[in-house]
């Protein structure tokens, strides 16, 4: 193969072409601060300033969470109770949420396009189908929301995510709206300060000097990065710098033993404490994802000697969300914070399978919403008596609700035009915030807001 010579360095023609392609991709990426955006100019609700999205990873059973039906499949201690607005909950599974049903809006006519975990999670996180050709260029809805609402002058990254595992990131939208994914710890983030040189003031002065040197050395690469990944890293690096030696930021990631106990001393509890802290701090967080795993209940779902089981899953979620709502109400942030709980699909209806569990089911599922302008004390739609199909859509579109509609509802609550598209993506394809929303196929479920 012929080699091209550049100064003292030799480069294969293949490497040169690869580098040129990466540079070209980055130059397209850099345009996204002022990207060409088109929309139908709809009017969003704008009832919330932040969203806490609780991802129930694994596909929770709709029949055993928010759309229970009377039947032989219920455990003897389920204690199903009806509440105003058509809401039915198990007081054994959800003792705290049973006390605040006037705040709950439950989507009972929800379905999914997917019945496999990986594809379903991609769909849940992006509101886009899982297409391998476009996966690397499809951002999480949190990144899209933060592109619209994130404020670079505030120190906390707009997109926080806890226990997310294989989460879809910001893709072509860049490092500024990529999720910050720390592990919740009562002591906070130790890396926010480097107090190794005597006093905190002396340590910060030394840190500032070294960071200034790093910026000077990195400036050529920052101005002309090799590729989009390097550009995203540089943007996220600058964002992280704003968090250093900032006591207001440090407090967001710390919590007391009392709080930990009140939220249940669980992973979901610790994640929601930090979500609460971020919302109450009002210093940049807009979209906060907290993932709770364990909902893939194929077997022994009501066996208390087996882990995970429905008792621990529902009780852990109930305790944490109940404490979150209580705290947000006390601070005055509940009305402006949209809380969404849902997974990637539902589970098989009626009687349990031969292993005492439920398998994957996409033709019926559910979601629960609170706060952020949501009208509580209501259900939207309904399912058949065994939970297998949707029998009543319950909203103006007169069809089942899809994840695209839920995402459009979140966008609308946050004051974002859900019909927007970005036309100058790195690949040149059009990226729609919500697929086909500009054609009116998917839309917000406005009945959620009353």
What DSSP string describes 280-304?
HHTSS--EEEEEE------S-TT-T
The rounded percent of the chain whose pLDDT value lies above 70 is 90
CA distance 29 to 235: 12
- Structure-token match 């300060």, residue found: 193
Share of the chain above pLDDT 90, in %: 73
Question: Does the pLDDT at position 336 exceed 90?
Answer: yes
Phi, psi of 247 (to 5 degrees): -65, -35
Q: What is the pLDDT of residue 283?
A: 95
Number of Cβ within 10 Å of residue 4's Cβ equals: 11
Main-chain dihedrals φ then ψ at residue 228, nearest 5 degrees: -65, -35
Question: For residue 308, is the peptide bond before it cis, meaning its omega torsion is within 30 degrees of 0?
Answer: yes
Q: Which two tokens stand for residue 269?
A: 């509890």
pLDDT band at 110 (very low <50, low <70, confident <90, very high): very high
**Phi (first) and psi of residue 135, to 5 degrees:** -60, -40
301-309: average pLDDT:
97
Q: What pLDDT sits at residue 24? A: 33
Mean pLDDT of 48-68: 98
pLDDT band at 34 (very low <50, low <70, confident <90, very high): low
Q: Which pLDDT score is estimated for 61?
A: 98
- Judge whether residue 229 has pLDDT over 80: no
Return the structure tokens found at 142: 């949190």
**The architecture CATH gives domain 11-187+242-449:** 3-Layer(aba) Sandwich (3.40)
Phi then psi for residue 83, to 5 deg, are -135, 165
Tokens 């496999």 found at: 116
Averaged pLDDT for residues 63-78? 97
User: Per residue in 14-46, is it b (16+ CB within 10 Å) or e — as a string?
Assistant: eeeeeeeebeebbebbeebeebebeeeebebbe
Q: Which pLDDT score is estimated for 236? A: 65
Asked if pLDDT for residue 436 goes beyond 80, the answer is: yes
Strand order in the sheet with 159-162: 159-162, 287-292, 50-56, 337-342, 365-370, 105-110, 378-380
* pLDDT value of residue 240: 75
Give the helix/strand (H/E) hosting 18.
Answer: helix 13-30
Q: What Cα–Cα distance (Å) separates residue 16 from each residue in 11, 147, 237, 438?
A: 7, 33, 28, 40
The string of pLDDT tens digits covering residues 369-411 is 999 999 999 999 999 999 999 999 999 999 999 999 999 999 9
* pLDDT range class, residue 3, cuts 50, 70, 90: very low
Question: Three-state DSSP class for 207?
Answer: helix
């Amino acid at each position: 193969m012929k080699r091209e010579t550049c100064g003292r360095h030799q480069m294969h023609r293949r490497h040169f072409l690869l580098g040129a392609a990466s540079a070209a991709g980055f130059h397209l990426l850099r345009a996204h601060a002022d990207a060409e955006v088109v929309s139908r100019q709809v009017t969003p609700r704008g009832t919330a300033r932040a969203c806490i999205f609780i991802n129930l990873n694994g596909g929770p059973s709709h029949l055993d969470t928010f759309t229970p039906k009377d039947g032989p499949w219920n455990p003897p201690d389920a204690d199903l109770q009806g509440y105003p607005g058509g809401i039915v909950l198990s007081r054994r599974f959800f003792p705290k949420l049973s006390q605040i049903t006037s705040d709950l809006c439950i989507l009972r006519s929800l379905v999914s396009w997917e019945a496999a975990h990986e594809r379903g999670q991609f769909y849940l996180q992006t509101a886009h189908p899982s297409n391998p050709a476009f996966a690397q260029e499809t951002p999480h809805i949190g990144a899209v929301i933060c592109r619209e609402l994130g404020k670079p002058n505030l120190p906390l990254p707009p997109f926080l995510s806890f226990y997310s595992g294989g989460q879809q990131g910001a893709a072509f939208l860049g490092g500024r709206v990529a999720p910050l994914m720390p592990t919740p710890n009562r002591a906070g983030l130790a890396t926010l300060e480097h107090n190794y040189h005597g006093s905190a003031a002396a340590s910060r002065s030394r840190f500032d000097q070294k960071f200034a040197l790093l910026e000077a050395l990195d400036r050529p690469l920052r101005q002309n990065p090799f590729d989009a990944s390097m550009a995203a890293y540089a943007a996220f690096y600058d964002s992280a710098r704003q968090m250093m030696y900032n006591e207001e930021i440090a407090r967001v990631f710390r919590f007391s033993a009392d709080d930990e106990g009140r939220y249940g001393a669980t992973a979901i509890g610790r994640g929601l404490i930090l979500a609460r802290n971020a919302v109450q701090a009002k210093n940049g967080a807009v979209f906060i994802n907290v993932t709770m795993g364990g909902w893939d209940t194929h077997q022994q779902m009501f066996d208390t000697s087996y882990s995970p089981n429905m008792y621990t899953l529902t009780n852990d979620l109930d305790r944490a969300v109940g404490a979150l709502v209580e705290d947000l109400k006390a601070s005055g942030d509940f009305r402006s914070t949209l809380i969404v709980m849902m997974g990637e699909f539902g589970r098989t209806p009626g009687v349990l399978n031969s292993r005492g569990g439920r398998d994957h089911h996409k033709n019926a599922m559910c979601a629960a919403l609170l706060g952020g302008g949501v009208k509580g004390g209501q259900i939207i739609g309904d399912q058949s008596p065994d939970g297998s199909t949707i029998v009543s859509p319950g909203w103006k579109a007169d069809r089942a609700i899809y994840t695209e509609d839920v995402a459009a509802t979140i966008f609308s609550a946050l004051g974002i035009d859900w019909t927007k598209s970005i036309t100058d993506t790195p690949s040149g394809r059009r990226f729609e915030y919500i697929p086909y929303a500009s054609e009116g196929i998917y839309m917000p479920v406005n009945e959620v807001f009353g």
